[in-house]
């Protein structure tokens, strides 16, 4: 299906105007009404809000029943279809590499004359800071240490050098190319559809080349509602992690307890801040906060590297990276062999892949918004390569330092991690110089990461429930900002961080199918692009031959 690039499509099931009609409308007194009709809130917003409110009420009335149902369902999905998370994310890697380094790589995400809105530094800072910031603190030291104490799939003896290398290898896998390739497929599809084809930013619109007119009806709206819910619950997991990290920092600095009440107060306070930030727009609040958090993260990373076991970190980085690259195909499709292995996969690899799937549309829309004017090749290199490299270095610094402390000291950081992963980062800092200063700095950094991530989430939810409008209205942003905080609080009350993880796993299930169809749809659209560099070259050559040139 070759979508007419001169048409500007509205929300699913909504009207479609030609470029001339839009011009006429824009020159009339009714232009604002026409635009609101095209990109205003509709049934997707109403249905999404209804389901979210029903979920909150269910949690308030029968929390034990909800927790039991979520726990059973997430276990079933992990056992029977967990492998699909691995297959889909691996497929995304192949698709991204193909698109980036084939003849499609020169296609610009926008008109041929469009150029990037943001500088390369600001663009990369927003990719890193506004997408996965909280995870850097929550898992930067905790995940390698957890794998060090309990090696994945029993492939090494706990507490040994082999276990340390294995720990970083699996951390690179969980946070590396699989996640970013998935985000990239969503981001490319949305950016191509909105900036080059002039469509709205809805997932259903991008599936029209494959599923046709069914995307204009109930099925299309169902997919868009699923996208909203997955985005919401995927992000609430990050908010729960962020609140837990802030509470742990306050406990270290001021002795404040880390109970649920404190975490609720933290979420409520930060919700107000990130909602106000989202109202300021991507070009202001999110842009400056993202750059600030990246500078802060670089400073704490450099400090730990210099004051920590620098030689050990450097050596283990190259050794674990070599093992990661050599064994990637085997690890990428490694499934559990027994019940104990399944449980480990459910709370690590399967959870991480499901988490990224639930974040797919959220990150994709945000990447699309900030990537207008970039070529597909630029997009692939920046989105897949830069974060994977940066995160591997980050995990090596903080994970390597914490594992070195456990191997050569008596800090008890390993057992503390097994008891509560939220304590690992601050326990690691406590063994280095200036622990009070670095802990306070880390708390500030987590708050900023908290704000940027939730800020971006609020913007994306506004876009999804505004007919794909890349500039959602303030009332809608306010609603989703507040609901994001409320849902994070509700899930913490129902079952703590486990409930947050279960919600992410469950919300990701439909996206194993959706992202597959999205990739197929994107390739089909690219093949029909009449402005494809090679196609233009062939046409020019054929014209020259016919004219005798």
Q: Residue 450 has what pLDDT?
A: 75
- B/e letters for 265-292, b = 16+ CB within 10 Å, e = fewer, are ebbeebbebbbebbbeebeebbbebbbb
Look at residue 53 and tell me whether its pLDDT is greater than 80: yes
Q: Which of 13-22, 162-171, 351-360, 502-511 has the lowest mean pLDDT?
A: 13-22
Higher pLDDT pick, 505 / 203: 203
Q: At what angle do helices 349-370 and 161-175 cross, to 10 degrees?
A: 40
Q: Counting Cβ atoms within 10 Å, is residue 247 exposed (0-12), middle (13-18) or buried (19+)?
A: buried
Q: Is the pLDDT of residue 238 over 80?
A: no
Question: What pLDDT does residue 375 have?
Answer: 94
- Note the pLDDT of residue 28: 36
Predicted local distance difference test score (pLDDT) of residue 331: 94
Q: Positive or negative CA dihedral for 306, 312, 315, 318?
A: negative
Question: Which position has the token pair 């699923």?
Answer: 226
Predicted TM-score (pTM) of the model is 0.83
Give residue 323's pLDDT band: very low, low, confident or very high (50, 70, 90).
Answer: very high
Give the pLDDT of residue 472. 82
Report the distance separating Cα 122 and Cα 126, nearest Å.
6
pLDDT at 494 over 90: no
- Specify the residue for token string 């390698």: 144
172-176, 304-308, 357-361: segment of lowest average pLDDT: 357-361
> Which residues are registered as beta bridge partners of 375?
108
Average pLDDT of the segment spanning 280-285: 55
Are residues 461 and 480 in contact, defined by beta-carbon separation less than 8 angstroms?
A: yes
- The DSSP code sequence of 114-132 is ---SS-HHHHHHHHHHHHH
369-407 pLDDT tens trace: 889 999 999 999 999 999 999 999 999 999 999 999 999
What pLDDT was estimated at residue 26? 37
Kind plus residue range of the DSSP H or E element containing 16: strand 16-18
Phi then psi for residue 8, to 5 deg, are -110, 110
What is the pLDDT at residue 100?
94
Q: Is the pLDDT of residue 209 over 80?
A: yes
| CATH numbers and ranges of domains, the chain | 83-524 (1.20.1740)
Q: Give the C-alpha separation, 259 to 253, whole Å.
A: 16
DSSP for residue 9: E
pLDDT, greater one: 320 or 129 = 320
CA-closest candidate to residue 247, choices 492, 402, 423: 423
- Split at pLDDT 50, 70, 90, the class of 151 is very high
Q: Residue 105 is encoded by which pair of tokens?
A: 């790589």
Which region among 45-59, 75-89, 465-479 has the lowest average model confidence (pLDDT)? 465-479
Compute the average pLDDT of residues 246-262: 88
Give the model's confidence band at 269: pLDDT under 50 very low, under 70 low, under 90 confident, else very high: confident
Which pLDDT score, from 0 to 100, does residue 530 have? 64
pLDDT at residue number 135: 75
If one compares 549 and 139, the residue with the highest pLDDT of the two is: 139
Tell me the three state secondary structure of residue 65: helix
Query: Residue ranges of the alpha helices (H) in 27-62?
Result: 31-39, 43-61
The pLDDT value recorded for residue 35 is 41
pLDDT of residue 286: 61
pLDDT tens column, 63-113: 888 888 888 888 888 888 889 999 999 999 999 999 999 999 999 998 888
% of the chain at pLDDT higher than 90: 36
Is the CB of residue 141 less than 8 Å from the CB of residue 425?
yes
The per-residue pLDDT for 496 is 67
């Amino acid at each position: 299906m070759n979508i007419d690039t001169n048409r500007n499509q509205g929300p699913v099931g909504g009207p479609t105007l030609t470029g001339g009609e839009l011009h006429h409308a824009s020159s009339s007194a009714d232009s604002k009404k026409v635009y609101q009709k095209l990109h205003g809130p509709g049934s997707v917003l109403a249905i999404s809000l209804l389901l979210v409110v029903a979920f909150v009420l269910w949690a308030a009335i029968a929390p034990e029943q909800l927790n039991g149902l979520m726990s059973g369902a997430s276990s079933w999905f992990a056992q029977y279809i967990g492998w699909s998370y691995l297959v889909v994310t691996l497929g995304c890697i192949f698709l991204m590499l193909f698109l980036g380094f084939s003849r499609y790589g020169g296609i610009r995400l926008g008109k041929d004359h469009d150029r990037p809105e943001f500088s390369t530094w600001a663009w990369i800072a927003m990719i890193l800071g506004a997408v996965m910031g909280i995870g850097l603190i929550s898992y930067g030291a905790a995940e390698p240490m957890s794998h060090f104490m309990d090696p994945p799939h029993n492939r090494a003896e706990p507490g040994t050098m082999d276990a340390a290398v294995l720990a970083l290898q699996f951390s690179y896998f969980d946070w590396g190319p699989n996640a970013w390739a998935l985000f990239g497929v969503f981001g490319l599809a949305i950016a191509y559809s909105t900036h080059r084809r002039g469509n709205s930013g809805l997932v259903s619109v991008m599936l029209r080349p494959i599923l046709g007119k069914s995307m204009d009806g109930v099925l299309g709206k169902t997919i868009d509602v699923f996208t909203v819910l997955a985005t919401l619950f995927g992000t609430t997991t990050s908010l729960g992690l962020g609140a837990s990290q802030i509470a742990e920092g306050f406990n270290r600095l001021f002795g404040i307890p880390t109970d649920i009440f404190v975490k609720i107060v933290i979420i409520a306070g930060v919700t107000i801040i990130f909602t106000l930030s989202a109202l300021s727009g991507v070009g202001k609040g999110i842009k400056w906060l993202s750059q600030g958090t990246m500078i802060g993260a670089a400073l704490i990373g450099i400090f730990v590297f210099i004051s920590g076991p620098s030689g050990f970190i450097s050596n283990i980085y190259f050794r674990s990276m070599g093992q990661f690259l050599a064994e990637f195909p085997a690890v990428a499709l490694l499934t559990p062999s027994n019940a104990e292995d399944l449980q480990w996969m459910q709370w690590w690899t399967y959870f991480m892949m499901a988490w990224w799937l639930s974040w797919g549309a959220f990150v994709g829309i945000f990447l699309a918004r900030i990537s207008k004017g970039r070529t597909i090749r630029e997009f692939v290199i920046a989105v897949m390569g830069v974060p994977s490299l940066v995160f591997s270095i980050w995990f090596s610094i903080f994970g390597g330092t914490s594992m070195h402390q456990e191997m050569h000291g008596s800090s008890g950081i390993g057992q503390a991690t097994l008891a509560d992963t939220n304590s690992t980062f601050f326990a690691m800092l406590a063994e280095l110089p200036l622990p009070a200063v670095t802990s306070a700095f880390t708390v500030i950094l987590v708050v900023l990461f908290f704000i940027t991530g939730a800020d971006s989430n609020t913007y994306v939810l506004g876009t999804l429930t505004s007919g794909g409008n890349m500039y959602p209205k303030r009332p809608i942003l306010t609603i989703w900002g507040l609901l994001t905080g409320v849902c994070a609080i509700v899930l913490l009350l129902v079952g703590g961080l486990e409930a947050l993880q279960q919600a992410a796993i469950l919300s990701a299930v439909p996206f194993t199918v959706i992202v597959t169809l999205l990739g197929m749809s994107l390739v089909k659209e690219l093949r029909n692009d009449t402005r494809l560099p090679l196609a233009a070259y062939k046409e020019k050559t054929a014209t020259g031959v016919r004219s005798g040139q």
